[in-house]
Amino acid sequence: MANLYSHEEPYDQGMLDVGAENQIHWETYGNPDGKPALVVHGGPGAGCNPRSCQYFDPDRYKIVLFDQRGCGQSKPPASDPATDMCYNTTKYLLADMEQLRQHLDIDRWLLFGGSWGSTLLLAYAEQYSDRVSEIVISPVTTTRQSEIDWLYDGLSRFLPKAWEQFRAGVPDNNSDNDIVAAYARLMENSDSKVRIQAANRWCAWEDAVVSHETDEDEQPFSSGSLNWRLSFVRIASHYFSHGAWLDENQLLRDANQLIGIPGVLVHGRLDLAGPLKTAWELDRVWSDAELIIVDNSGHTGGESMRMHVREALDSFAD
């Protein structure tokens, strides 16, 4: 088993007012005088998880976690249909991260995240490259439209029964053309029963996508609380129906902004949700990155992936 670190309760936490009546929750772990590192959670809309601190040596790192807009302990929650989602876009999240850095009086920080967190931290690093010391990503995604299409349509060829149930959640005649946008519309419906049913079907699909990665009967998405599911699906469908407000190939196109930033990309060969191709393409355009392919792991990771992530963060700790 990967020998990860243990952490106590956060030594500090708070709420940061980022404008438009939004507040983001943040918390810090480890050594207050250690090397600053920001953990960027996935989803979008999953919320931060203190277990991500276990990859960091608590004696050498100052670890910062935060909940992106609308999820976790940030306010207002996306689970509330009255919350205006027009203030929840990639542009605002990037500004929130930079405001949090300034609020915590951090000059430069290491970035760590995966899946949607990979996309967001890459966008931040390309915009604020002088504020990033190193990057560790596991797994790698860039949220191109082609990646979104694969996850919510292309994968149907491997999971036809689960996708048929996912598709059945949107009875619109035109939903085949944009099933993600159809779900986004359902999550804005005034009827709570409609929103709950849509959230449950979306989470069931997400569970199906990663179901081959463990021998245990786990449902990491469906087992979340009702408010968590409503926030997660409303945010995720909102972002993915807009292509995360990123140009296709934008993060690969602008990877020259990462020159001089050391990076480690850890990706599982068995990742159906985010196939290896994206990590491979990023490695080819980011000369300072090292790609580690883990043959026995998928999107949710495993012991081998956890070991490689911990080793990468250990190597950057000094």
Task: Give the C-alpha separation, 160 to 163, whole Å.
Answer: 5
* Catalytic annotation present for 25: no
CA-wise closest residue to 270 among 210, 189, 202: 210
* Catalytic annotation present for 115: yes
Token code pair at residue 290: 């090292």
Catalytic position from the list 115, 175, 237, 241: 115
* Catalytic annotation present for 299: yes
| Helices (H) then strands (E): counts for the chain | 10, 8
Run of H or E residues at 210 = helix 192-210
CA 160 to chain centre: 26
Burial of 1: CB neighbours in 10 Å, binned 0-12, 13-18, 19+? exposed
Catalytic position from the list 41, 267, 299, 308: 299
Catalytic position from the list 271, 283, 297, 308: 271
Question: Concatenated DSSP letters for 217-284?
Answer: ---TTTTS-HHHHHHHHHHHHHHHTTGGG--TTHHHHTGGGGTT--EEEEEETT-SSS-THHHHHHHH
32: helix, strand or coil: coil
As a whole number of Å, the CA-based R_g of the chain is 19
Token code pair at residue 9: 């309760």
Q: How many other CB atoms are there within 10 angstroms of residue 51's CB atom? A: 9
**Residues noted as catalytic:** 115, 271, 299
